[in-house]
C-alpha cells in the first residue's frame, strides 16, 4: 500500500489512501483489517480493526455509489 498523504497534527499521525472499488469490495468480505507501523526492522506497533459489525454499512455505501 502506498500512502498518498500523511501528516502529524495535535499529537496524532494521520494518513490517507484512495481506495479502489476492488479495495472496498474486499472490505465487505473480510472480518478485520490490520494496521501496522514499522520503525526500523526490529520495532513495530499494530493492531487489527474488527469489521464484522460494519460490513453491512460498507455494502450499503457501495450500493449507493
Q: What is the pLDDT of residues 1-34, one digit of tens each?
A: 455 676 777 777 777 778 888 888 888 889 999 8
Q: Can you read off the three cell numbers belonging to residue 6?
A: 500523511
pLDDT of residue 4: 63
pLDDT of residue 36: 82
pLDDT mean over 27-43: 85
Other Cβ atoms less than 10 A from the Cβ of 62: the count is 13
Query: Where along the chain do its domains lie?
Result: 19-64
In this prediction the pTM is 0.57
SS (H, E, C) 1-64: CCCCEEEEECCEEEEECCCCHHHHHHHHHCCEEEEEEEECCCEEEEEEEECHHHHHHHHHHHHH
7 or 35, greater pLDDT: 35
Q: Taking a C-beta distance cutoff of 8 angstroms, is the pair 31, 51 a contact?
A: yes
Amino acid at each position: 500500500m502506498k500512502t498518498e498523504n500523511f501528516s502529524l497534527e495535535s499529537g496524532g499521525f494521520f494518513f490517507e489512501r484512495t481506495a479502489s472499488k476492488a479495495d472496498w469490495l474486499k472490505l465487505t468480505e473480510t472480518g478485520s483489517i490490520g494496521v501496522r507501523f514499522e520503525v526500523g526492522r526490529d520495532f513495530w506497533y499494530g493492531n487489527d480493526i474488527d469489521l464484522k459489525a460494519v460490513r453491512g454499512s460498507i455494502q450499503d455505501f457501495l450500493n449507493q455509489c
